[in-house]
C-alpha cells in the first residue's frame, strides 16, 4: 500500500507532525474502491479529528440537557460547555465581546440573518448592495431576495482573467447609494484571497457596513475581526474541522443591538404577552429555539485543535502543498488552471478543453481520490470565465505531497484514457 504520509522533499513538512495529524482523523485511513482515500474536497467540508467526534459522544453520553432554562445540574453543565465554546470562538476571531458571537446553522444562515434582519430594517428602494463577481450563491441569493423585496440594485466588483478582483473599479461601484457590501474573503472556486481590508476601507468612506463571507478563510488564514474592522463575518463549523449544522455570525455589538430579531421563538424573548413581546439581550435575541448544543461544543473543540496546530503554521504548510500541486498540474497536457491570482490558498480549479470535469471526477473516484466537480455554487463566476464547471482539488492540514503525486498520476491517467 502506498505510504500516504510521505512528506520528504517538502521544505515545510517539518512544521508539524503530519503523521500524527493524519492519525487524529480516523476517516483518512479508509479505503475507497479498494484504494486508500485521498481526500481533496476540503473546500466542500473538512474531515473531523477524533477529539471532535468524541466530544459529540461525550455530550450525549454525559451532559445532554437543554441550555439556559434549567436549574438542574445537567442543564448547568451543558450551558457552561455551550457558553465556553462561544468564548473560544470570540477569542479565535478576536471579537470584542461574546455578545457578538451568534450561533447559527452555518454561513448560509448567518448571511440570511443579516440580509433579512439588517436589510428589512435599513434598506429602501433605490439603495445599492455591493458584492464581488466570485460570490458563492450563499452570499448572493439572500441579497437578491431582499433587493427584490425593496426594489434595490446589486453592484458587482468585477474579476480579471487571473481571478483577482479589479479593485480600481471600487471608486465607480461605491457611491452615496451604496447601503451594504457583502464580500467573499477567499473564493471557493478560484482560491483567491481577496484584499478585503481595502474593500472595507473604501466601504467605510461611504459609511457602508461590510459582511465578510469567511467560509473559505476561517480554516486557512488568521481572521481578526477587530483588525479587519468588518461589521459582520460569517463562517461554518464544518469547514473548520468541526461538525455540520453549526456556524457563526459575528457582528459588531452596536449593529446587532439595533437589529430586529430574525426568527421568533423560545430563548430570544424577554417578556411575552398575547399581543407582543420584548426581546432577550445579545446574543440570545438571534438564537430562537433550542440551539445545536452538541455541535456548538464540538466546534469549540475543533478550534482548540486548530489553535494547538497554529493557523499560521497550517497556512504555511497548505501553501507549500498548493505550490507543489500547481507546478505539477501546470505540466500536464491540455490542462488549464482557472484562478491564478498572486494571493491564493488551498484551492486549485482546472479544466480541459476536451474532457468534462464530471468525467475527471468520476475517474479519479475510482482511484480513491475525492475532488469536486461542477460550478461550486458560483454559477455567475463560471459564466464570467465562459465555462460550465471545473474540477477542483482543495487541501487541508492533513494532506501530503504524496497524495498530490497520486492526484497527478490520476489526472495523467484521465488524459491518457480520454485523449
* Residues lying near ligand PMP in the complex (CB under 6 A): 106-108, 136, 138-139, 184, 188, 213, 215-216, 236, 377
Specify the DSSP class assigned to residue 96. S
Nearer to ligand PMP, 39 or 324 (CB): 39
Which member of 145, 166, 255, 377 is catalytic?
377
Cα–Cα distance for residue pair 22/414, rounded to 1 Å: 28
Nearer to ligand PMP, 106 or 298 (CB): 106
Nearer to ligand PMP, 36 or 247 (CB): 247
Grid cell 475581526 — which residue? 225
Beta carbons within 10 angstroms of residue 109's beta carbon? 21
| Minimum CB–partner distance for residue 108 and ligand PMP (Å) | 3
Cα–Cα distance for residue pair 329/412, rounded to 1 Å: 9
Nearer to ligand PMP, 15 or 134 (CB): 134
* Chain centroid offset of residue 23 CA: 24
Up-side HSE of residue 156: CA atoms within 13 Å toward CB? 13
Nearer to ligand PMP, 249 or 268 (CB): 249
Question: Cis link prior to 283 (omega < 30° from 0)?
Answer: yes
Contact of 35 with 29, CB cutoff 8 Å: no
Nearer to ligand PMP, 86 or 239 (CB): 239
| Minimum CB–partner distance for residue 180 and ligand PMP (Å) | 17
What number of H helices and E strands is found in the chain? Answer: 14, 17
| Minimum CB–partner distance for residue 106 and ligand PMP (Å) | 3
C-alpha cell at 78: 451543558
Cα–Cα distance for residue pair 271/309, rounded to 1 Å: 45
| Minimum CB–partner distance for residue 393 and ligand PMP (Å) | 15
| Minimum CB–partner distance for residue 287 and ligand PMP (Å) | 17
Contact of 80 with 73, CB cutoff 8 Å: no
Nearer to ligand PMP, 46 or 139 (CB): 139
> How are beta strands 178-184 and 232-236 bridged, if at all?
unpaired
> How are beta strands 269-272 and 178-184 bridged, if at all?
unpaired
At how many degrees (to 10) do helices 50-62 and 293-309 cross?
A: 150
Catalytic residue at 230? no
| Minimum CB–partner distance for residue 244 and ligand PMP (Å) | 8
Contact of 158 with 399, CB cutoff 8 Å: no
C-alpha cell at 223: 481572521
| Minimum CB–partner distance for residue 225 and ligand PMP (Å) | 17
Contact of 185 with 196, CB cutoff 8 Å: yes
Active site residues: 377
Amino acid at each position: 500500500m502506498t505510504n500516504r504520509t510521505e512528506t520528504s522533499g517538502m521544505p515545510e513538512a517539518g512544521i508539524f507532525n503530519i503523521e500524527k495529524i493524519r492519525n487524529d482523523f480516523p476517516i483518512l485511513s479508509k479505503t475507497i474502491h479498494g484504494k486508500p482515500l485521498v481526500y481533496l474536497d476540503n473546500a466542500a467540508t473538512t474531515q473531523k479529528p477524533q477529539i471532535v467526534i468524541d466530544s459529540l459522544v461525550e455530550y450525549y453520553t454525559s451532559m445532554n440537557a437543554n441550555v439556559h432554562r434549567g436549574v438542574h445540574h445537567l442543564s448547568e453543565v451543558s450551558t457552561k460547555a455551550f457558553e465556553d465554546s462561544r468564548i473560544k470562538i470570540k477569542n479565535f476571531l478576536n471579537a470584542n465581546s461574546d455578545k457578538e458571537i451568534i450561533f447559527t446553522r452555518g454561513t448560509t444562515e448567518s448571511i440570511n440573518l443579516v440580509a433579512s434582519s439588517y436589510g428589512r430594517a435599513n434598506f429602501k428602494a433605490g439603495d445599492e448592495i455591493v458584492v464581488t463577481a466570485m460570490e458563492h450563491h450563499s452570499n448572493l441569493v439572500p441579497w437578491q431576495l431582499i433587493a427584490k423585496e425593496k426594489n434595490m440594485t446589486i453592484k458587482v466588483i468585477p474579476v480579471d482573467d487571473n481571478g483577482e478582483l479589479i479593485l480600481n473599479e471600487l471608486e465607480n461601484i461605491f457611491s452615496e447609494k451604496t447601503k451594504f457590501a457583502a464580500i467573499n474573503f477567499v473564493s471557493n472556486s478560484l482560491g483567491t484571497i481577496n484584499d478585503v481590508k481595502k474593500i472595507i476601507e473604501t466601504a467605510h468612506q461611504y459609511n457602508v457596513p461590510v459582511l465578510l463571507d469567511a467560509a473559505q478563510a476561517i480554516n486557512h488564514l488568521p481572521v481578526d475581526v477587530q483588525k479587519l474592522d468588518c461589521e459582520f463575518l460569517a463562517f461554518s463549523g464544518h469547514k473548520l474541522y468541526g461538525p455540520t449544522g453549526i456556524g457563526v455570525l459575528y457582528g459588531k455589538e452596536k449593529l446587532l443591538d439595533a437589529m430586529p430579531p430574525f426568527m421568533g421563538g423560545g430563548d430570544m424573548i424577554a417578556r411575552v404577552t398575547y399581543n407582543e413581546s420584548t426581546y432577550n439581550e445579545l446574543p440570545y435575541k438571534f438564537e430562537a429555539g433550542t440551539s445545536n448544543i452538541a455541535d456548538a461544543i464540538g466546534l469549540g473543540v475543533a478550534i482548540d485543535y486548530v489553535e494547538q496546530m497554529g493557523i499560521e503554521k497550517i497556512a504555511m504548510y497548505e501553501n507549500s502543498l498548493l505550490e507543489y500541486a500547481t507546478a505539477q498540474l501546470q505540466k500536464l497536457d491540455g490542462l488549464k488552471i482557472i484562478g491564478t491570482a498572486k494571493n491564493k490558498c488551498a484551492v486549485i480549479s482546472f479544466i480541459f478543453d476536451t474532457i468534462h470535469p464530471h468525467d475527471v471526477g468520476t475517474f479519479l473516484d475510482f482511484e480513491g481520490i475525492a475532488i469536486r466537480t461542477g460550478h461550486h455554487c458560483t454559477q455567475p463566476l463560471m459564466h464570467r470565465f465562459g465555462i460550465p464547471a471545473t474540477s477542483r482539488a482543495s487541501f487541508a492540514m492533513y494532506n501530503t505531497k504524496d497524495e498530490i503525486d497520486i492526484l497527478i498520476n490520476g489526472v495523467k491517467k484521465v488524459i491518457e484514457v480520454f485523449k
